[in-house]
Amino acid sequence: MAKLKEIAEFLNKELKIDEINDSSYNGLQVEGKEEIKKVGFAVDACLESFESAKKQGCDLLIVHHGLLWDSKKIMIAGILFKRISFLIKNNIALYAAHLPLDCHAKYGNNIQLARLLNLRNVKEFGNYHGFNIGFSGELEKEMSREEFVSFINEKIGANSEVLAFGKEKIRKVGIVSGGGDSSLQEAIDKEIDALLVGDRKYSSIQMAKDGRINLVAAGHYETETWGVKALMPLLKEKFSVETVFIDYNPSQ
């Protein structure tokens, strides 16, 4: 039977959480049972995910968006109190990996998306506070903008918002999941044909227009299920635990 401490230490090392500056407190955020039989995987640490984890008999929940973030003061009150109380009451441990699970070259959201889209000549992309969190590459064959958006929607189950200000033909693609439009200027500078992100800010509209680039916002949730899913077979094989993906999209 797997030990919680062993799983947490393994993930800390595998995801290199101590090497990445992040606003999230990555790693084990809430302790639970010492012995782990079943692990749940979800995008968000929220009551709906916790309730589903309890219902499905999970001893540990691994998420992309955890409960604890940088703050001068952390008050265990309100919604945070409800969430932590639920975990403690039901003896469910919580592990979070934010940026380490965006940028990881094997298990990260962005490399998984690059593989899903069958990109070639994949390179690191999306500089964020001194390190790259995304990837860029080339499609196997050039597509029209409409074909490319349909391709994305089909592959990841999205209903993408498109700022169609760039080329009508797409070959070179940049990927930064979640709020990845922070990489828009870099994509323009590197002459990317289309930047795939989760969601975008209002200010990105004019920047994309002035920069003559296509920006495809496929959904924050839709672009960030892939990292936690990639960890499932890894932990199942390494620790002989049951695994389950908890699919809860708060925007639906």
Q: pLDDT per residue over 108-144, tens digit each?
A: 999 999 999 999 999 999 999 889 999 999 999 999 9
What six digits make up the tokens of 159? 């209903």
Q: pLDDT per residue over 152-171, tens digit each?
A: 999 999 999 999 999 999 99
Mention every residue, 6+ apart, whose C-beta is less than 8 A from residue 126: 110, 132, 133, 134, 135, 174, 175, 176, 180, 182, 183, 186
89: number of Cβ within 10 Å: 10
| Distance from C-alpha of 20 to C-alpha of 8, rounded to nearest angstrom | 16
Q: Which residues of the chain have pLDDT under 50?
A: none
Give the β-pairing of 93-96 and 60-65.
parallel
CATH architecture of 2-98: 3-Layer(aba) Sandwich (3.40)
| Distance from C-alpha of 132 to C-alpha of 110, rounded to nearest angstrom | 11
| Distance from C-alpha of 65 to C-alpha of 180, rounded to nearest angstrom | 15
Which amino acid is located at 192 in the chain? I
For 33, phi then psi, to 5°, come to -60, 145
CATH architecture of 103-217: 3-Layer(aba) Sandwich (3.40)
State pTM to two decimals: 0.96
Mention every residue, 6+ apart, whose C-beta is less than 8 A from residue 5: 34
Cα 111 to Cα 88, 98, 183, 201: the distances in Å are: 34, 15, 16, 23
- Every domain of the chain with CATH number 3.40.1390.30 lies at 2-98, 103-217
The predicted structure's pLDDT at residue 72: 67
The predicted structure's pLDDT at residue 73: 74
